[in-house]
Amino acid sequence: MHIHVLGICGTFMGGLAAIARAAGHAVTGCDANVYPPMSTQLRALGIELTEGYDAAQLHGVARDAELFVVGNVVSRGNPLIEAILDRGLPYASGPEWLHDHILPGRWTLAVAGTHGKTTTSSMLTSILEHANLNPGFLIGGVPRDFGVSARLTDSAFFVIEADEYDTAFFDKRSKFVHYGPRTLILNNLEYDHADIFPDLAAIETQFHHLLRTVPRMGRIVVNGGDAALARVLARGAWSEVERFGAAEVPGNGPGWTIGIDGDIALGGAAQGTLALAMLGRHNQLNALAAVAAARHAGVPVAESLAALARFEGVKRRMELRGSVRGIDVYDDFAHHPTAIATTLEGLRRRVGDARIVAVLEPRSNTMKLGTMKAALPASVAAADRVWCYAGHLGWDAGAVFAPLGERARVVEDLDALVDAIASDARAGDKIVVMSNGAFGGIHDKLIARLTA
> For 249, phi and psi rounded to 5 degrees?
-95, 125
Has residue 251 got a pLDDT over 80?
no
Q: What is the mean predicted confidence (pLDDT) over 303-313?
A: 92
Q: Kindly report, residue by residue over 99-155, the tens digit of the pLDDT.
A: 999 999 999 999 999 888 999 999 999 999 999 999 999 998 888 888 888 999 999
> For 409, phi and psi rounded to 5 degrees?
-135, 140
| Mean pLDDT over each residue of the chain, to the nearest integer | 90
Q: Which fold has domain 2-93?
A: Rossmann fold (3.40.50)
The upper half-sphere exposure of residue 196, i.e. CA atoms within 13 Å in the direction of its Cβ, equals: 18
Peptide bond into 36 cis (omega under 30): no
pLDDT band at 309 (very low <50, low <70, confident <90, very high): very high
Per-residue model confidence (pLDDT) at position 142: 81
Has residue 37 got a pLDDT over 80?
no
DSSP H stretches of helix in 194-260 = 200-211, 227-234
Per-residue model confidence (pLDDT) at position 86: 97
Second-level CATH architecture of 103-309: 3-Layer(aba) Sandwich (3.40)
Residue 354's CB is within 10 A of a number of other CB atoms, namely: 13
Domain 319-451: what homologous superfamily? Mur ligase, C-terminal domain (3.90.190.20)
Close Cβ partners of 211 (under 8 Å, ≥ 6 residues apart): 184, 220, 232, 233, 235, 236, 237, 238, 239
Per-residue model confidence (pLDDT) at position 396: 83
CB 5 within 8 A of CB 31: no
- Stretch among 45-49, 179-183, 318-322 having the lowest mean pLDDT: 318-322
- Sorted by where each begins, the domain ranges of the chain are 2-93, 103-309, 319-451
Q: Kindly report, residue by residue over 363-403, the tens digit of the pLDDT.
A: 776 676 777 788 888 888 889 999 888 877 778 888 888 88
Q: Which of 220-234, 248-262, 340-354, 405-419 has the highest mean pLDDT?
A: 220-234
Q: Would strands 256-258 and 263-266 be described as parallel, antiparallel, or unpaired? A: antiparallel
Has residue 196 got a pLDDT over 90?
no
Cα–Cα distance measured from residue 137 to residue 48, given in angstroms and rounded to the nearest whole number = 23
Has residue 174 got a pLDDT over 90?
yes
pTM: 0.82
Closest CA to 73 of 149, 168, 138, 139: 168
Could you give the 3-state DSSP secondary structure of residue 335?
Answer: coil
Cα–Cα distance measured from residue 20 to residue 259, given in angstroms and rounded to the nearest whole number = 42
Residue type, 279: L
Per-residue model confidence (pLDDT) at position 413: 86
